[in-house]
Every structure is written in structure tokens, then in C-alpha cells.
Amino acid sequence: MLRYVYRRLASLLVTLFVASLVVFVVIEVVPGDPASYMLGMNAQPDTVAALRSELGLDQSKPARYFHWVTGMLQGDFGQSYTYRTPVADMVSDRLWISLPLALFALLLSIVIAFPAGIWAASRRGGLADTTVMGFTQLGIAIPNFWFAMLLVLFFAIKMRWFSAGGFAGWDEGFFAALKSLTLPAVALALPQAAILTRVMRSSLLDVLGEDFMRTARAKGLSQRQALLRHALRNALIPVLTIIGLQFSFLIAGAIIIENVFFLPGLGRLIFQSIAQRDLIVVESVVMLLVFAVVMVTFLVDLAYAWVDPRLRHRA
């Protein structure tokens, strides 16, 4: 097990290193000098030069890359060109919206997908199965931002149960904050729930064909008991992998959904920063998200190897 962990850790570090190189190089390609952009057209050359050295722009590219990476490792994500505040502060404020949103959506998709997938699998080929599968086809085809608009139209504008956008803030109380995240989370969860339902169903169907399931029935368990006690636990392994993968989609999806609901999360931060050419923020936030995705994949792999010993030797 330990050897497997080391190997995965090594490949994780390589991925992160190359990813940071790619992000740095891509952002460096941008023409124009942030310092003169910040100071405007009429700035004195020596003021620009002073700001350049303050921001570290006068250093060589390798030195700046090194500075950026070592800074990030210590929690220093650089200074926003536009707001002159540490990027880390801007990120940590918004993280408390994006992260709960993604987790809320993940939870919702699990709560929807597990019963739906189990139900469809246990009624294989029947009406329930066909209905559930039909809905999953729709769920995959509906763009989540459009679904979000429909939710706003119905639940916020027509029924007035929720606000159409904005974030109450965690200071307003847990449930007020959660309420303003509900519609975004539902919108975000829909396609993921549809995918997860399909995985749950097909994974259960695979297990249902195994010999031990016949044995379970033969020793007198009802179909329902056998399903819940034996099939479900075995079917969960691939489902867990997909849940891990979905985290990266949820993060990407959150970027768009935050725009629909005017939530001041990481997604809004990225788009604002692009509009203001505040590329150090884009650079650091993108890297942070890549880090989150890679870490989650890593942890899921470990959990997977821990549950299923066969995998430790294969990879």
C-alpha cells in the first residue's frame, strides 16, 4: 500500500509541476505590461519602473516562476494588480461560497442519484427503469445554466420562494446562506445526478449478475435484502470514483452557475479579473482549482486502492 501511495504521490507532483508551468507560460504570453496598464497612459517611466520592481516584474522569467511557485507553497498567491490586495485574501473570501456550493451540489446529486439508480436497477426493463433512464437522458442534455434560469423563473420570480440571485452571507445565519445557495446547487447538481444515476444503475446491474448474489438469494434473502446488503456495497466502488471525478466538473460548473445567480464566488472572481486584465489573479485561481482537482483525484484513488486491494498492484 505504501509503495502505491508513493508512486501516486510522485505522479501527482509531476502533474502539478507541469500544470504550473503551463499556466505560467500561457499567462506570460499575454502582451502588455501590467505595471503600465495599472498606472494608465500618462504615467512617468520611473513610476512604472518602480511599480515593476515592486511587483517583481523586472526579474527574469525563471526567477518569477520560482517566486510564484514558492510563494504559493507558503500561501502567498501574489498581489492583485487591480486592487493591490493579496490574492490569497480575495480567494479565501470567495472560497467560502464556491466550496460550500460545490459540496451542496455534490450532496444533492448523491441524494437524488442513489435512490433513483437503485430503483431503476431493481426494476430493470420495467416502467420505472424506462422512466428514470428517460429523465437521465434529459438531465444530461439540459445545460445547467439554462436549468438555473428556469429555476429562477419559477421559484424566484413566480413563486417568490427564493431570491433570484446574490448571496446572503454566512453572517446572516447558516440557513439564510444555505437558502441563497439552494437554487444554484440544484442547477449544478442536475446533470451530475443524471450521470451518477446511470453509473449507479449499471454498476448495480453488473453486480446483480455475480455468483455471490445468487448465493445470497439461495440462502433465503429476499431480492430487496440481497440488493441492499450485498449488491450495493460492491456496486459502490465505481460509483465513488465517478463522484471523485465529478468534483472537477462541479468546480467548472460552479464558475458558470455563479454568474447566473450573481454569487460572489471564485467563478465571478475569475471573470472579473479577466475583464480587468488582472492576470495574476487568473493565474493563481486557475492553479488553485487545478490543485483542488488533482488532490481530489489523488484522494479518491487512494480510497479506491484501500477498498480494492487488486488495484494497488496494477498501477
Partner 1 sequence: MKLRSIVPGAVLILIVLIAALVSYVWTPFDVTTLDIRNKLQTPSAEHVFGTDHFGRDILSMLMVGARTSIAVALVAVGIGMGVGVPLGLLAAARRSSWVDEVVMRGNDLVFAFPALLIAIMITAVFGAGAVNAIIAIGIFNIPVFARLTRGAALSLWTREFILAARVAGKGALRISVEHVLPNITNILIVQGTIQFSLGILAEAGLSYVGLGAQPPIPSWGRMLADSQTLITLAPHLALFPGLAIVFTVLGLNLLGDGLRDWLDPRLRRER
Give me the residues that bind partner 1 (CB under 8 A), please: 11, 14-15, 18-19, 22-23, 26-27, 29-30, 124-125, 137-138, 140-143, 145-146, 149-150, 152-153, 157, 202, 205, 248-249, 251-253, 255-256, 259-260, 270-271, 274, 279, 282, 286, 289-290, 293-294, 297
Taking the complex as a whole, the smallest distance from the CB of residue 255 to partner 1 amounts, in Å, to 6
Taking the complex as a whole, the smallest distance from the CB of residue 38 to partner 1 amounts, in Å, to 17
Select 113 or 260, whichever has its Cβ closest to partner 1: 260
Taking the complex as a whole, the smallest distance from the CB of residue 11 to partner 1 amounts, in Å, to 7
Select 128 or 294, whichever has its Cβ closest to partner 1: 294
Neighbouring residues of 153: CB distance < 8 A, sequence distance ≥ 6: none
Select 177 or 205, whichever has its Cβ closest to partner 1: 205
Taking the complex as a whole, the smallest distance from the CB of residue 252 to partner 1 amounts, in Å, to 4
Select 8 or 230, whichever has its Cβ closest to partner 1: 8
Taking the complex as a whole, the smallest distance from the CB of residue 157 to partner 1 amounts, in Å, to 6
Select 49 or 236, whichever has its Cβ closest to partner 1: 236
